[in-house]
Amino acid sequence: MNRVLAAPLLRAAALLAVAGVAACSNAEDTAATVGGDDAPASTAEVVGAEMAVADLPTLRPGVWRMVNTTEGGDVETLRQCIGADQSLEIPEGTSADCLPKINRVRGGFRIESRCTTDGVTGMFNMTMTGDFETRTRSELEIGMGVEGQPLNVAKQTSEGVWEGPCPAGQEPGLMEDEE
C-alpha cells in the first residue's frame, strides 16, 4: 500500500468522510427528487434543498473500511470504528460568507465551503452518497491559494464499506492501516 497521498489534507478529509462529517453546497439542482421524477417531492426529498445537520444521514455504527484514491492514482486503505453516539461535526466559518451549507443530492448530500481570510482562499467540497448502512462514496476536493492565483486543488475519491461491529473494547476512531 502506498502510504503517501498527494496532499496530507486528503487523509484528514477521508477520515471526516468516514465519520460522516459534513460541510456545504449551493442549491442549483432543484428539479429532480430523490427516488426519481415520479417520487413525492416533499421538502426533505428535493435534490438541491438545504439540509440541517439533524437531517444528515448517519453511518451505521461499526467498522468502516475506506479505500481512498487520489487523482494521481495513489491508494490508501483506512479502517475506522464508528461509535453509536458519534455526532457529526460541521466545520465552522469565521464570517457569514464562510459558513458551510449542506444540500441534498440524489442518494446523499453535498457540502461546499469557500473562504478568504487575509488574502488566502481555502475551499472544501464533498459529495457523499450511498445507503450509509453498508456502503458510501465520497468525492472530495480541497484547495488553497493566495489572492490573484488559481487554487491548488487536490481531489480524492473514497469508497466505504461496513465490515461489521467494532471489536469488543475498541474505542471509536482510526484503526490500524491496511497493508
Confidence (pLDDT) at 90: 58
pLDDT of the residue at 138: 94
Strand order in the sheet with 152-164: 101-105, 108-117, 120-130, 135-146, 152-164, 62-70, 75-82, 173-174
pLDDT digits (tens, 9 = 90+) for 44-55: 467 888 988 778
* Residue boundaries of the structural domains of the chain: 8-174
Q: Any idea what the Cα angle at residue 83 is, between residues 17 and 56, rounded to 5°?
A: 45
Residue 156: per-residue pLDDT: 96
Q: What is the spatial distance between Cα 81 and Cα 173, in angstroms, rounded to a whole number?
A: 5
pLDDT of residue 31: 28
Residue ranges, the chain, pLDDT below 70: 1-45, 87-97, 177-179
77: left (phi over 0), alpha (psi -120 to 50) or beta: beta
